[in-house]
Structure 1
Amino acid sequence: METEQKTELKAKKAFPMEAAYAIGQVTIAFGTALMARADFGVSMVVAPAYLVYLKLSESISWFSFGLAEYLFQALLLLVTTAVIGKFKKRYLFAVASVIIYGALLDLFMLVAGRIPTDELWVRIIIFAVGSVTVAVGVAFMFNTYLSPEVYELAVKEIAEKFGFDVGKTKTVYDVISLVLAVAMSFLFFGWWKFEGIGYGTLINALTNGPMITVLNKLYRKKFEFVRKINLKKEPPEEEK
């Protein structure tokens, strides 16, 4: 039995966690830009920030999706800090992740904006590719020690603070995001106007979780995720 376990470990290829983080950031930003371009509705998680972008960009030409993410996730971090009761040092890494993600998102929004979307079948393909690409990125982010964006951080911190199940907390957060997005759409664009959310949002909500689960299992079957960079010793838990 022990020999079989050693053989299985040897069969796995070492994969740097830092590379998993980089791939995750790039693919999530690229996939989100594709979904926005397809215009079937973005994911529930990014929908509120996307609506801020749609509204403010009408009057502020230089206001971007990335800037909207900065503002919304900064607000979410303040709310999370208030709920937790303190600001932990590791939150700074989440801020860095948001800055990187926002810059990548704006870059890929420019790239995706060049894709012609006159034909329905093109939009369907763009949406499908975008949805899968986001799932690929999220699954990679599950296998790194580096802090994710504030969305994931908020769910994890609140669940730990109150002893909630992380999965159930994530579901509640997603539902709150959807309700908030619908309310913002009505407020910004008029009653019964669904901007930034649509059939694609629902499809993504139903398929994204299962895709991430399958991909994560596949990654862990093929790779042994290892930490390559150790700058200094981890601080005590109470200082984090």
Structure 2
Amino acid sequence: MKIKNFAEMAYLLGLIILALGVALMEKADLGISMVVAPAYLISLKVNFLTFGMAEYTLQAVLLIFVCLLLGQFKLSYCFSFVTAVIYGLVLDGWIWMLNDVTAATLSIRIPLYLVGMLFCAMGISLLFHTYLAPEVYELFVKEVSKKYRIDINKFKIGYDCTSCAVAVAMSYLFFNSLRGVGIGTVICALVNGLIIAQCSKFFEKHIDFSPKLPSVQKYF
């Protein structure tokens, strides 16, 4: 039996789980997710920006690029920035709560990283299945793949790999060394899209993503 009318809850859980996954990967220090790595590097470089603040600042810039690339603007795109702000606040909250967690050995760091990567994939998959505005990262993948009729999972893999390359370039530009980017970033870039696809298959089998509040859906 499927869980019914889960669209709105998918949005809330997606943000919470995604932010937790990113926080766990940051704590593991094996390489942050390639999608958020540029924002993470900016937060390391600019002292007054937290990781969460850097996230929604960078997503504001990406949102402008999305509108230019698609040649259109929708009011719902603004809600993606609202989502980015909520996500940034939740991310900073998770990082604060995990502050006292000690990850000094690989026996702790590797499980933290693996669980974090799984949570990131689960969160993104849930956000792909809700009508409520996703983060700008997911909006970019969703809207561009739709406009140009590209398989969303393949496009996600390409986007992740591009983000990884940008993060490496930024790391050397800012610090003359790799910071926040590691073997975990490369692994995540290669397999994250595949994990998201498997999560989507699982969720679609057990969850009905129709809205509980259909009157709200028309605004998105």
Task: Pick one of 17, 22, 36 that aligns with 2:26.
Answer: 36
State the partner residue of 1:225. 209
Note the C-alpha offset of 1:49: 0.8
Q: Cα gap change, 1:206/1:229 in structure 2, threshold over 3 Å: closer, same or farther?
A: same
Instruction: Return the alpha-carbon distance in structure 1 between the equivalents of residues 216 and 92 of structure 2.
Output: 33
> Mean Cα displacement is larger for which, 14-23 or 160-169?
160-169
- Shift, 1:85, TM fit: 2.5
Query: Aligned ranges for residues 1-240 of structure 1 at < 5 Å?
Result: 11-57=1-47, 60=48, 63-190=49-176, 193-231=177-215, 234=218
Give the 3-state SS of the residue equivalent to 2:4 in structure 1: strand
Output the CA distance in 1 between the equivalents of 2:149 and 2:43. 34
Q: How far apart in 1 are the matches of 2:147 and 2:204?
A: 28
Structure 1, unaligned runs of 5 or more? 1-10
RMSD across aligned positions (CA): 1.9
Amino acid aligned to 1:20: A
Quote the offset at 1:94 in angstroms.
0.6
Q: TM-score, normalised by structure 1?
A: 0.84
What CA deviation, in whole Å up to 9, does each residue of 1:185-240 have, x standing for no partner? Answer: 011001xx1111111112222332232222221222122222011345736xxxx8
State the SS of the aligned residue for 1:28: helix
- Aligned amino acid, residue 221 of structure 1: K
CA distance in 1, matches of 2:91, 2:101: 16
Distance 1:187 1:140 in 2: 34
Structure of larger gyration radius: 1
1:166 Cα deviation after fit: 3.4
- In structure 1, C-alpha distance between the alignment counterparts of 2:119 and 2:157, rounded to whole Å: 21
Pair 1:228–1:87, CA change in 2 (3 A): same
Amino acid at match of 1:228: K
Aligned-partner SS, 1:14: coil
- Distance in 2, matches of 1:172 and 1:125, equals 26
Q: 1:213 is aligned with what amino acid?
A: A
| Structure 1 range deviating more: 154-163 or 176-185 | 154-163
Q: Kindly provide the CA deviation profile for residues 38-91 of structure 1, in whole angstroms up to 9, marking residues without a partner as x.
A: 11001111111111111112xx3xx20011001110111111122222321110
Query: What SS class does the counterpart of residue 115 from structure 1 fall into?
Result: coil
After superposition, give the CA deviation of every residue in 1:168-192 in whole Å (9 maximum; x if it has no partner). 43333223211211111011001xx
Runs of 4+ that moved beyond 6 A: none
> Percent same amino acid among aligned pairs?
42
CA distance in 2, matches of 1:180, 1:85: 24
- Asked if the contact 2:41/2:170 (under 8 Å) is kept, the reply is yes
User: 5+ residue gaps in structure 2?
Assistant: none
Matches of 1:35 and 1:105, distance apart in 2: 12
How many residues are paired up? Answer: 220
